[in-house]
Structure 1
Amino acid sequence: MGMQVNTNIAANNAYRNLSTTQNALGKSMEKLSSGLRINRASDDAAGMAISEGLKSQVNGYTVAARNAQDGISVVQTAEGALTQVHSMLQRMRDLAVQGSSDSNNSDSRDAIKKETDQLTDELTRMSEATKFNGKSLLNGTESALKFQVGADGTANDQITVNLANANVKAIANALNGGDLSTTGTKFAIADVTLVAGAASFTTTKGGVATTVTTADLGVAGTFTSVEDYATALGKDAAFSANFTVSVEKNANGAGTGIVVTAKDGGTLTNGTNGTPGTGLAGGASGATVTGGLDFSTSTLAQASLNKIDEQIKTVSEARADLGAVQNRLESAVNNLNVGKENLTAAASRITDVDMASEMVSFTRSNILSQAGTAMLAQANQANQGVLKLLG
């Protein structure tokens, strides 16, 4: 091989290899310092796309778990208040049982009425005071609350907490015999097995009439008791958003009809089932009745006892619903935590660097870099021999 001055092939070769080594050394240092195998899309384009999708899910699961925990807090707040409501209703029931005995004189019955009035007033206060983050839970303004417990935007990523049966204000209104008593419309039910189709109710307030039609509650023969029909009405979203319903019972405790009350305080002027003239009796608008407890006689005290029992049942159903949904939310939290753990592990396998393996690469590149630098220096000295020829 001849001796050239203008072109140093050995130096160019050494420089090219040194540049490649330095580039690999720089990437190894970046990976080791960041702990990530993928620091830019060019490191692994497909892996980067997958990892970003997994990151979205992991972050979504984290926030969803917090949402579910908030849902549990809401349920615990409402259920805790309902626990006290139950205690108050049980006390009122004790008083009603006491008032059902003719051993009480008028003063005793007045004392019973005064205590029950105070308790119903407290129920009203509790219904307005029980809130979570400014949202009233027990006064009927929130019939259902939705909690996002998933990372995506589908219906399966939400859990609904039903507060329709937790309307303590309606319970207080149904029991209160003072100025806070409500006026409802009574519908006698001649044969509940004949009730069919959708029910329609019209409330009028300030001269403005609002008609609400329920979903199809079933065909004739669906309901076996007045209580079943009242429960079906209460579970209908359109109905529960505008009305409350209670069951009228006879002295033997058998349901004979329903009382529907408009939440806006309006007058119920119409109410029909899907087949007018069957099932619901009492005319187009039914008979107007005023709620409240009365202990002035043994018979009225027994009727009041039945009303209290109905409200105790309502609260029991509400607490059962809340307890069930709390368990569901807790299960959702556990599932989210497991999912987050597995997705984080999957993302780690894609994006995190194997420190041991990368350290081997770094050491190799570092040695090659030092060797390449030394060889470049030797290559640059190789052409110095030409000077001897020129000397």
Structure 2
Amino acid sequence: MDAYGDWPNQPLDNLVAHEMVHAVMAATTSMGTAAGAGQMPKWFTEGAAEFLPGGDVRLNNVLTGGTSAASVIAELDNIQGSNWDTTDIQYSAAYVATRMLHEEIKNNGTSAGAADGVKDLMQWLAADNTRTLDGYLSTYTSFSGANDFIDNHVQGATNGVDFINNTLDLANADGGGIGGLYADGGAVRSFASAVPDIDNYSSDPLANFSESFPTGSRAIQLASTQSLQFQIGANSGEIIEIDLVGVNAGNLGIADIDLTTDWDGAISRFDAALDAVNSQRSRMGAAQNRLESAAASMEVGIENTSASRSRIVDADYAQETAELTRSNILNQAQIAMISQANSMPNVVLSLLA
């Protein structure tokens, strides 16, 4: 959900206007100072940003979507309690509170420019970035501060609900923006035309800017300072050669940069230096991958060679054990036969006796 919800045909101009209000307030009021941070109520900063282009369309969508006017006003409790969650109902609540503040200043304010409503308040805040909304309200209205205004006026009795139901006209062509028909009696300012488009420029929109466009190639050619050769195989010519370059400020062309006199040229030179460094990193990474691949290949070769040597030199334990058993059996058989042969003469002599 962006600052203007998901409505169809939502003008981008109004979104830009909303954010520009924040930017201007941060640059000109206490909203943008460390001392004033948090002193400007969220309902006012968001409500003012809604009020510039007009918040009637968003509020009308919230109400026709089933949310009651009382629920919109009650949402200010969450906003005051720092529970800002950028919902349409919260933007609408902030817008209603700011519209009511606008009317209160115009009708009952005591400052010299009170007839301008919130515009007078903004000019007062911008005149001194230590000023706060509480300071304006306590000085030029009957309220002691922002909380008093919300609690006892916007949420007091049925003021806020009555303002939505009886004062705001959400069905007309005017979007409710500051300076428009229903906020200030001016010309009708629709939601889409609150910030008019500008076409057919009569002058160069960049006339007040210093324009500088880089020309030519910015590539830096780094000369090789050393060449390394790595033998990666058993045969001649199986090598990997890596060229090293001097990657320093001098070679990169940034040693003599003066940011005070040539800031624009410095950016181009820094970009070129970064490109050169990245290029060398890519080259070194590729060389590293080649070396790692060669090392892995050699490790496989070593493993295969070791396996071959083992098959040639190492004994086959099972085969040798079988041969030993066979030899033992044959030896025992021979011994038995010899023993039997030696006993035969004695047997014959015993028969003749």
Normalising to structure 2: TM-score of the pair? 0.30
Max Rg structure: 2
Normalising to structure 1: TM-score of the pair? 0.27
